[in-house]
Amino acid sequence: MSASNRRAKLDRDHPDLSMRRQCAMLGVARSGVYRKPRPANDNDLEAMRRIDALFTARPFFGARRIARTLSEEGFPIERKRVRRLMRLMGIEALGPKPRTAKPAPGHKIYPYLLRDLTIERPNQVWAADITYIPIGRGFLYLIAVIDWASRAVLSWRLSNTMDASFCVAAWRRRWPDTASRRFSTPTRAASSPARISPAC
């Protein structure tokens, strides 16, 4: 459980347990309980926007390279601040990590259904991709349904929440007759009709 979730369990009006005792039981520091976190200022938002733009162009950059590049571009920033903002944004440099090929225990491994299939015509295989678009002070999520052979965008949908229903809505926007179809990962390969890859 994260520290923020543990802090949320604190009860300032508890009749029997003092705040000191509650903090000790939950394993949180009292300094973080009494001191209110500083709200994000416009300078942090500007730094996050610059970090996001640089990270999108070069996703293999870590905190050190991003700090050095931004400083060279006239936006001086420290590495520790870049690391804190990247952690807040939930991004990290793409690169080799230890034991990445080892599957997590209990996770189902789905077969790759396109391994022996020759994709030679449109409307044979569809794919879906999810990304985000930065706007104002937040983000919009975008799902696009793509024809694998022609690379044509068949359908797309925007949402401000990462909810599976908007993924399915993108399919039904292009194919209304699939309203009763349950979307799931196919378990065996078939050459026709067009296959529906899992959207979410």
Residue 48's pLDDT is 92
Percent of the chain with pLDDT over 70: 82
Q: What is the pLDDT of residues 9-33, one digit of tens each?
A: 888 888 888 888 888 888 888 887 7
Which of 65, 42, 46, 45 is closest to 55 using CA atoms? Answer: 65
Phi-psi region at 137: left, alpha or beta (left = phi > 0; alpha = psi -120 to 50): alpha
Q: What is the pLDDT of residues 149-189, one digit of tens each?
A: 888 888 888 888 777 777 777 777 776 665 554 444 443 33
Residue 53's pLDDT is 92
Angle at 29 between CA 24 and CA 32, to 5 degrees: 140
Q: How many CB atoms lie within 10 A of CB 194?
A: 18
Beta-strand relationship, 153-159 and 138-147? antiparallel
Position with higher pLDDT, 3 vs 15: 15
For the four alpha carbons of 187, 189, 192 and 195, in that order, the dihedral sign comes to positive
Structural Rg of the chain based on CA atoms: 23
What is the pLDDT confidence band of residue 66, given thresholds at 50, 70 and 90? very high
Which of 146, 182, 151, 149 is closest to 164 using CA atoms? Answer: 182
**Mean pLDDT, the chain, whole residue set:** 79
Residue bearing tokens 């390279």: 65
In this model, does residue 193 exceed pLDDT 70?
Answer: no
Residue 88's pLDDT is 87
Residue 41's pLDDT is 65
d(CA 86, CA 66): 10
